[in-house]
Amino acid sequence: MEEGDLDRVVENETRSYAFPWTRAVFSDCVKSGHECWVAERGEIIIGHGVLSIGADEAHLLNICVRRDEQGHGLGRQIVVHMLERAGRRGATVVYLEVRPSNRVAGALYASLGFREIGRRKDYYPAEIGSEDARVLAITLGPAELPAPR
């Protein structure tokens, strides 16, 4: 992901989420040197991911797949790619937050080996009030990286 991709990334994000990240947030991630990746089909960005890495920890900050591209394994491919990047850069554990209501994402993360380690109360905005976040983690080791399907 580069600055020139951000309009298309934000369009994808806005079409996919009720509470999307802003262009400024993505721009800050690119400028700060986070692992920022896009999946493209032709000129169309069909998915993106943002990973922050510091010391031996990583945090999967954003994963998004266009609604019309969901259900075909692209989300899994993006997450596995991010885990591989984290491992290559020395991370031994990767964290993420997910909405309890996002059962599809929760099932994907569980299938890759993520485990719930806690909750963040009122973490996400919701249509009415807020929603907690499930905090998930996976420990990385050479034999522990999930295989793409």
Q: Scan for tokens 């599809």, then name that residue.
A: 104
The yes or no reply on domain 3-139 and CATH 3.40.630.30 is yes
Catalytic member of 97, 116, 123, 124: 97
4-18, 47-61, 103-117, 130-144: range with lowest mean pLDDT:
130-144
pLDDT band of 18, cuts 50, 70, 90: confident
- pTM for the structure as a whole: 0.89
The answer on pLDDT for 143 being more than 60 is no
**Residue 121's pLDDT is what?**
95
Active site residue 116: no
Catalytic member of 13, 35, 109, 131: 109
> At residue 137, what is the residue type?
A
Active site residue 97: yes
Tokens standing for residue 20: 């999307």
Q: For the segment 23-75, what is each residue's pLDDT rounded down to a tens digit?
A: 999 999 999 999 999 999 988 899 999 999 998 999 999 999 998 898 999 99
10 Å Cβ neighbour count for 28?
A: 12
Q: For the segment 67-109, what is each residue's pLDDT rounded down to a tens digit?
A: 889 899 999 999 999 999 999 999 999 999 999 999 999 999 9
The answer on pLDDT for 149 being more than 60 is no
Beta-bridge mates of residue 53 = 58
Tokens standing for residue 60: 């999967």
Dihedral in degrees, nearest 10, Cα atoms 30, 32, 33, 36: -30
